[in-house]
Amino acid sequence: MAMASLKTIALREEEHQGLSGGHSLCAGCGIPPIVRTVLGSIPGPKVAISATGCLEVATTRYPFTAWGVPWIHVAFENAAAVASGAEAAFRALSRRGKLSEEPVTFVVFAGDGGTYDIGLQALSGALERGHRLLYVCYNNEAYMNTGIQRSGATPYAANTTTSPVGSLGKGKAERRKDMTAIVVAHHIPYAAQAATSHWQDLSRKVERAAQASGPSFLNVLATCPPGWGHEAKDSVRLARIAVETHYWPLFEVVEGHYRITHRPLQQRPLEEWLNLQKRFSHLHGERGADLVVRLQEELDDSWAQLVQRDASDADWFRALEEAEA
Amino acid sequence: MAKVELALQVLTGAEATAHAMRQIQPDVVPVYPITPQTPIIQTFSRFVADGKADTVIVQVESEHSAMSAAVGSALAGARTMTATASQGLALMVEVIYIAAGLRAPIVIAVGNRALSAPINIHGDHSDGMLARDSGAVQIYAQDAQEAYDLMVMAPRIAEHPDVMLPVMVGQDGFQVTHSAEGVALLPDPDVRDFVGPYEIPNPLLGGGASSHGTFAMPDSYFELRHQLVQATEAAEAVYAEVAQDYRRRFGRDLPQIDAYRMEDAERAILLIGSAAGTAKEVVDDLRAEGERVGLVALRLYRPFPHAALRAALAGARRVAVLDRAVSPGAYPPLYSDALGALQGSATTLQSYVYGLGGRDLSQRAVRRAFAELALPAADRIGYLGLGGEDGDGEP
Ligand SMILES: Cc1ncc(C[n+]2csc(CCOP(=O)(O)OP(=O)(O)O)c2C)c(N)n1
Ligand code: SF4
Ligand SMILES: [Mg+2]
């Protein structure tokens, strides 16, 4: 499959900007590059469906909109259901000859709260029903729009306004859930994890996802300077560190088969990830040594499992590539 | 006026509703099952499975998603219907408000049923009242025939350019949804011709790039919500227009207010839904005994037909308002609405609640309400049938 080059994406944007500037997302926010890469990597008409959250609020203050594609937001917990209905309408109207033959891509953009937590049921239903839609979770690991509350995606030990560090509190007491695995358990044709630091990897995954014969899912790590307590200038660097510490591995799951899409040459120490973010400042230095050990163990376990899956599915991917070539 | 003569079929309200859906052939129907709505969606699913209706049914995982998918579908240019009841309607309510705000013309068939706790599957109007202030139009049928007729009329009201709102078509759980009676269905082509093609602009798939469901600050929210108020108000005239066309074409008269033997009535009962049948029988009996009594039953509940109700009750000195829902700690909804409509008039109202959780309204109870209207007004809510079907609600 020929991959969209940066030039193709730029040209597509020039022709038709999916998300323009003038919105009020923060400097260094990971969301805009995700949305622009996703929309720029899909040819043809698209419909965007958003859940309530930073993206929706910051891009559509009435009477303005930053969206250059048809866009709808209904509520926080139901973006996948809204998309299901729009996709069903597309099928119904096409069948009755009321639309042109051209395929339309339905793309959902929802935060981690709207995906891992309150929107999980609607997402699960949509995946099980097999609607043709691409669901993109921009994952900034907390409810940012309402002031940095913990979510099911917030990592162990992170300081948020509802998992505060105090004389007793040590940040979030629970592990983040493995949403990508939950999605994969729905037997959908395509799911992947991506990060803004590796835009080509993201773009290629979007292309694959958009061509899938059923639902597809992308879980994309999105930096958040106010929420994570990092410098805006460090956004891309931080995303890269997340990948290279194995905190956020880049992989894809095609028809249930796992493949690591970027293997860091060398695993960077977890401290590099933690030390750039104030949400982990209680772990910096000796004070948080125990918690860091626990975090490191979790990452190592997950990575080992992923490597194993990747190895056992290697033949399957070889056969797929031969078939595609 | 051309009266169409049609053979009667024995159908329940739910089946009659499914037939209306088959004839209208909506593009998309997202649904989730709940008693007493289930026979609507089961019958309709069978029609689709047998190739009698060409509709995409989306079997969603909850009513919240049913209504959400309906909004996505409606904004993607598809004629969209759904059906629910009770807890399902409660789950939908968040999205019904949004559907109204987004001006999505979705028709929602409701088998009106009580709300938990305790859980109860039988009829009352508590579920509909949850959506009372959503902006959605609400119409209520008295029997299976009306459930059918109103369902045929509903898309025309929902899709009218002055309205563009969800329309809820209510029928009492079991008393209408599950009661078989003679129903005259219109010929399929007549229904299709009456409803007409779906001509709403298509925001998501129509080739433009507009944004829907945006974020509004205090500088614009009030004005945008006020537009919704105006749209809901406009539905009153549109209902009248659609009902008139229905009568002209098919000879069936379903005015927003059913005024029964009100010509010279001094005392009247005001209510909504299937209890109108029982009340009419009592009115006939009392009339035969020489009493000047009548009944007013609302078909259109939202928008509330203030002026029409005032006109219908103009000659009545005393009116018993029978609510099939409560507002604990306050007067019940229909009573409060009627009070607003009649302010400044000489008519005085008496509030009663009846029939919660499917309890039948007995003729004795209706007689008692009429009898009490001859006594001095009491500043309290009466509970008809509390403590047993003929109970008087006294502890
Ligand atoms: C039913 C409901 N509950 C709560 C909220 C309040 N709320 C709006 S956005 C939001 C958090 C969104 O978090 P996420 O999905 O992670 O997106 P982000 O803000 O991080 O972009 C919350 C809690 C709501 N709008 N609706
Ligand atoms: S708070 Fe975070 S997620 Fe929200 S706009 Fe700012 S950077 Fe982006
Ligand atoms: Mg978030």
* Partner-chain residue, chosen from A62, A77, A85, that has the shortest CB–CB distance to B214: A62
- What's the average pLDDT block by block, 10 residues per block, for chain B (395 residues)? 75 98 98 98 98 97 98 98 98 98 98 98 98 98 98 98 98 98 97 96 94 97 98 98 98 98 98 98 98 98 98 97 98 98 96 97 97 93 88 58
CA B333 to ligand 2 centroid distance, Å: 44
Residue A174 CA to residue A150 CA, distance in Å, equals: 10
Alpha-carbon distance of A111 to B145, in angstroms, equals 47
Ligand that lies nearest to the alpha carbon of residue A227, given by its number in the listed order: 2
Nearest CA in chain B to A50: B213
Calculate how close chain A gets to B97, using CA atoms only, in Å. Answer: 10
Task: Report the DSSP pairing between strands A105-111 and A134-139.
Answer: parallel
What distance separates the 2 farthest-apart alpha carbons in chain B?
Answer: 67
C-alpha distance from residue A324 to each of A2, A4, A254, A312, B32 (Å): 11, 17, 14, 20, 41
Could you give the 3-state DSSP secondary structure of residue A166?
coil
Task: Report which ligand 2 atom has the smallest distance to the Cα of A53.
Answer: 4
Contact A71/B209, CB-based, under 8 Å? yes
- Structure token pair of residue B187: 């010929």
Question: If we measure between CA atoms, which residue out of A51, A57, A98, A92 comes closest to residue A73?
Answer: A51
Interior/surface letters A89-107, b for 16+ CB within 10 angstroms, e for the rest: bbbbbbeeebbeeeebbbb
Q: B268 forms bridges with which residues in the sheet?
A: B294, B319
Q: Ligand 2, from A19, A23, A24, A31: best to mutate by most atoms within 8 Å of Cβ?
A: A31
Instruction: Return d(Cα B342, Cα B322) in angstroms, integer.
Output: 16
A258 DSSP β-pair partners: A253
Tokens of B388: 């047993």
- Tell me the chain B residues in contact with residue A96 when contact means C-beta distances shorter than 8 Å: 27, 54
Q: Evaluate whether B9-250 and B257-391 have a shared fold.
A: yes
Biggest CA pair distance of chain A: 67
User: Is it the case that residue A187 has pLDDT exceeding 50?
Assistant: yes
In chain A, the percentage of residues whose pLDDT exceeds 90 is: 91
Dig out the tokens for A40 from the structure. Answer: 């720029």
User: Quick check: B358 and B122 in contact, CB under 8 A?
Assistant: yes
Residue in B257, B184, B161 with CA at minimum distance from that of residue B6: B184
Angle between helices B144-159 and B13-24 (to 10 degrees): 40
Q: What end-to-end distance do the CA atoms of chain A give, in Å?
A: 9
Q: Read off the tokens for A250.
A: 């880049």
CA of A194 to the centre of ligand 1 (A): 22
Domain ranges of chain B: 9-250, 257-391
How far apart are the CA of A29 and the centre of ligand 3, in A?
Answer: 11
Report the pLDDT value the prediction gives residue B395, as an integer from 0 to 100: 42
Return d(Cα B323, Cα B335) in angstroms, integer. 7
Ligand 1 atom nearest to B94, measured from its CA = 1
Mean pLDDT, range A174-199, rounded to an integer: 97
Give, in order, the Cα–Cα distances in Å from A193 to each of A11, A180, B56, B81: 26, 7, 32, 37
CB B173 within 8 A of CB B121: yes
Would the CB atoms of B215 and A56 count as touching at under 8 Å? yes
**Residue B268, CB-side half-sphere exposure with 13 Å CA sphere:** 28
**pLDDT tens-digit readout, A107-158:** 999 999 999 999 999 999 999 999 999 999 999 999 999 999 999 999 999 9
d(CA A258, CA A254): 7
Residues B107, B96 contacting (CB under 8 angstroms): no
**Contact B69/A82, CB-based, under 8 Å?**
yes
Calpha distance B391→B348 (Å, rounded) = 24
Give residues with Cβ within 8 angstroms of B305, minimum separation 6. B236, B256, B257, B298, B341
Mark yes or no for CB contact B62/A91 under 8 Å.
Answer: no
Helices (H), B57-125: 63-75, 86-101
Are residues B320 and B352 in contact, defined by beta-carbon separation less than 8 angstroms? yes
Nearest to B213 among A73, A77, A129 (CB): A73
Measured between beta carbons, the chain B residues lying within 8 angstroms of A83 are: 72
What DSSP line would sit under A36-70, residue for residue?
Answer: HHHHHHS-S-EEEEE-SSHHHHHH-BTT---BSS-
Q: Report the C-alpha gap between B149 and B13 in whole angstroms.
A: 11
Q: Which two tokens stand for residue B256?
A: 């927003």
Question: How far does the centroid of ligand 2 lie from the alpha carbon of residue A77, in Å?
Answer: 19
Cβ distance A86 to A72 under 8 Å? yes
Higher-pLDDT residue of A3, A280: A280
Inter-chain CB proximity A84 and B70 less than 8 Å: no
User: Residue B212 and residue A71: Cβ atoms within 8 Å?
Assistant: yes
Task: For each of the domains in chain A, give its residue range(s) and CATH number, in order of start.
Answer: 6-324 (3.40.50.970)
As given in the structure block, the two tokens for residue B278 are 């029982």
Question: Rounded to the nearest 5 degrees, what angle is found at the Cα of B65, between the Cα atoms of B64 and B69?
Answer: 125
Closest in A65, A73, A121 to B61, CB measured: A121
Rounded CA gap, B182 and B152, in Å?
Answer: 17
Contact criterion met (CB below 8 Å) for A231 and A225: yes
State the nearest Cα–Cα gap between A141 and chain B, in angstroms: 23
Q: Which of A19, A29, A109, A230 to mutate to test the pocket of ligand 2 (most atoms within 8 A of CB)?
A: A29
Measured in Å, residue B289 CA sits from the centre of ligand 1 at: 64
CA nearest B214 in A: which residue? A60
CB contact under 8 A, B205 and A91: no
Q: What's the A158 CA to ligand 3 centre distance in angstroms?
A: 14
Do B158 and B234 meet the contact criterion of CB atoms below 8 Å apart? no
Among A69, A78, A86, whose Cβ lies nearest the Cβ of B75? A86
Buried b (16+ CB within 10 A) or exposed e, B252-277: bebbbbbbbbbeebebbbbbbbbbbe
> Which numbered ligand comes closest to the C-alpha of A56?
1
Query: What Rg do the C-alpha atoms of chain A give, in angstroms?
Result: 19
Q: What pLDDT shows up at residue B394?
A: 52
What DSSP designation does B293 have? E
Chain B: closest CA distance from residue A56 (Å):
7
Q: Is B57 helix (H, G, I), strand (E, B) or coil?
A: strand
Question: Which backbone phi and psi does B214 adopt, to 5 degrees?
Answer: -80, 180
CATH superfamily of B9-250: Thiamin diphosphate (ThDP)-binding fold, Pyr/PP domains (3.40.50.970)
Phi-psi region of B379 (alpha: psi -120 to 50; beta: other; left: phi over 0): beta
B106 Cβ partners below 8 Å, 6+ apart? B67, B70, B71, B74, B80, B81, B82, B99, B158, B166, B167
* A·B CB contacts under 8 A: 164
Q: Do B98 and A81 touch (CB under 8 A)?
A: no
Under 8 Å between Cβ of A82 and B68: yes
Q: Which of A283, A278, A240, A284 is nearest to A262 (CA)?
A: A240
Ligand 1 atom nearest the C-alpha of A139 is 16
How many CA atoms does the CB half-sphere of B263 hold within 13 Å?
Answer: 3
Chain B residue with minimal CA distance to A54? B215
Whether residue A157 contacts residue A281, with contact meaning beta carbons closer than 8 Å, is answered with no
Q: How close is the nearest chain A Cα to the Cα of B200, in Å?
A: 13
Q: Is A24 on the interface with B (CB under 8 A)?
A: no
Tokens representing A276 are: 């750039």
Q: What's the angle, vertex CA A119, arms to CA A114 and CA A121, rounded to 5?
A: 165
Can you read off the two tokens belonging to residue B4? 């169409």
Q: Which residues line ligand 2 (CB under 6 A)?
A: A 25-26, 29, 31, 54, 58, 140, 144, 224-227
State the nearest Cα–Cα gap between B95 and chain A, in angstroms: 8
A227 CA closest ligand 2 atom index:
2
Q: CATH class for domain B257-391? A: alpha beta
Question: pLDDT-derived band of residue A2, with 50, 70 and 90 as boundaries?
Answer: low
Instruction: Kindly give the pairing relationship between strand B257-260 and strand B293-298.
Output: antiparallel
B71/A74 Cβ within 8 A: yes
Give chain B positions within 8 Å (CB) of A81: 60, 64-66, 68-69, 72
